[in-house]
Every structure is written in C-alpha cells, then in structure tokens.
Amino acid sequence: MDELDTVIHAPARLRVVSTLATLAPAEEIAFPKLQQLLEMTAGNLSTHLRKLEDAGYVRVSKTHTGRKPVTYLALTTAGRRAFEDYTATLTALLKGAGT
C-alpha cells in the first residue's frame, strides 16, 4: 500500500488542496477569496501555499488590477494527480481498517 502524501496530508494543506480541486482545471481563485473560504490568516495560508508550490502542486500567478497587486491560485496537473492519488490511498486505508 502506498503511503499518504505528507505534503497534502497536513490538515491545513489538505483543506487548501481539496478546495482548489473543486475548481475547473483552467480556473483560478484569488488569494483573499481562498483565505475567506478557509478562514485562515494570510500568513498561515501563505506558508502552506509555499509548501504546495514547492512540491509543484499549486500554481501562483501574480498580476495587478490597476495599482493593486492580485494573487491567483490553482492546482497544477501534478497537484490534481497527487490529490487523486491521496484520496485513493486514503479510501483504500479506510476500507482496510473496516475489515
């Protein structure tokens, strides 16, 4: 049996990835909106996003609207695949625990 992906398994990062996984593959979400949905501080969310970005699971796009900087986030293809593998492994573990 495969081990659970420790990058995703941390509770806060699991919340981030599972929220981003609800978006269509080409869709992005603004940092403040994700922060609001997850009820996380900006610093805490940034720390977890950095770990996910370093793993290649999250794409961070920075742009400007007028003079205001805006950060958009999305799962990468690798991030979607890792989340699918994570959920499959977790499901298998839970099924095995029930026997």
**CATH number for 16:** 1.10.10.10
Q: Are the CB atoms for 83 and 8 separated by under 8 Å?
A: yes
Give a yes or no: residue 79 inside a domain. yes
Chain centroid, CA 45 distance in Å: 10
Q: Identify the pLDDT of residue 36.
A: 98
Residue 38 belongs to what domain range? Answer: 6-91
Whole-structure pTM value = 0.91
Structure tokens at 23: 């978006």
Give a yes or no: residue 98 inside a domain. no
39 Cβ contact list (under 8 Å, min separation 6): none
Give a yes or no: residue 96 inside a domain. no
> Distance between CA 25 and CA 36 in Å, rounded?
21
The one-digit pLDDT tens for each residue of the chain (99 residues) are 468 999 999 999 999 999 999 999 999 999 999 999 999 999 999 999 999 999 999 999 999 988 999 999 999 999 999 999 999 999 999 988 766
Task: Identify each DSSP E strand in the chain by its residue range.
Answer: 29-30, 58-65, 68-75
Q: How many domains is the chain built from?
A: 1
